[in-house]
């Protein structure tokens, strides 16, 4: 089932490593098929370099395996809650990228230090802490990502969502870059923060940015 999606998830899981967005087996990726109501998600604790499409798990939103020999990511509740409650999100990328995790460990939100933050919203909030893989973490992430497409997870990492996987991955990468910009600028002085009106204009511009 869903071999196209499985192959795509494997490709993007490998990109997590090559783009410096995680370490070890940290992070996870999923795609939601709304027609079937099934989630295609990376497995728990598998080395990305050795991951194959057969390792990818197909399950329902309660984590029941429909097809696959592996256990789904322990963070499947954090993916499922967005698919249940957000019709604009059909793919999730969760990373342990360094700068986002540093900022999340400070339990700070990411303000509009760059217009690129607008990929996610006018800012990126930091969700309250909860243990990984728990319903509490899923709820905290969902609440903090209201009207946004990314959220920092306290003492943990970053989560990004979008209508498709390519966009969700791009958001995760752009927000990691913006976290680095914010942390480095704070080490020198106090960065100028863009106004909400400008961020709203940038969000509209991004809707038509790039190729059709």
> CA 158 → CA 78, 82, 162, 205, distances in Å?
12, 15, 14, 24
Of 54, 67, 75, 190, which is the active-site residue? 75
Whether 75 sits among the annotated catalytic residues: the reply is yes
Backbone angles phi, psi at 149, to 5 degrees: -120, 15
Alpha-carbon span 51 to 46, nearest angstrom: 7
DSSP assignment of the chain equals --HHHHHHHHHHHHHHHHTTS--TT--EEEEEETTTTEEEEPBTT--GGG--GGG-EEE-TT--EEE-SSPBPTTHHHHHHHHHH-TT--EEEEE--HHHHHHHHTT--B-SSSGGGGGT-S-B-EEPP--TTSHHHHHHHHHHTTT-SEEEETTTEEEEEESSHHHHHHHHHHHHHHHHHHHHHHHHS------HHHHHHHHHHHTT-S--
Alpha-carbon span 151 to 107, nearest angstrom: 11
Q: Which residues are catalytic?
A: 75
């Amino acid at each position: 089932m869903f071999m196209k999606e499985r192959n795509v998830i494997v490709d993007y899981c490998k990109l997590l490593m090559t783009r410096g967005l995680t370490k070890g087996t940290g992070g996870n990726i999923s795609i939601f098929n709304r027609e079937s109501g099934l989630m295609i998600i990376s497995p728990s604790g598998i080395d990305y370099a050795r991951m194959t499409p057969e390792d990818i798990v197909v399950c329902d939103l309660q984590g029941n395996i429909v097809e696959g020999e592996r256990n789904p990511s322990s963070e499947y509740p954090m993916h499922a809650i967005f698919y249940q409650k957000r019709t604009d999100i059909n793919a999730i990328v969760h990373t342990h990228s360094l700068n986002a995790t540093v900022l999340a460990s400070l339990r700070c939100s990411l303000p509009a230090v760059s217009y690129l933050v607008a990929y996610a919203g006018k800012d990126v909030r930091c969700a309250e802490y909860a243990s990984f893989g728990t319903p509490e973490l899923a709820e905290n992430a969902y609440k903090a990502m209201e009207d946004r497409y990314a959220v920092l997870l306290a003492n943990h990492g970053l989560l990004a969502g979008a209508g498709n996987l390519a966009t969700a991955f791009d958001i995760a990468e752009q927000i990691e870059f913006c976290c680095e910009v914010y942390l480095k600028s704070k080490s020198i002085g106090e960065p100028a923060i863009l106004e909400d009106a400008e961020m709203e204009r940038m969000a509209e511009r991004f809707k038509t940015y790039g190729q059709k």
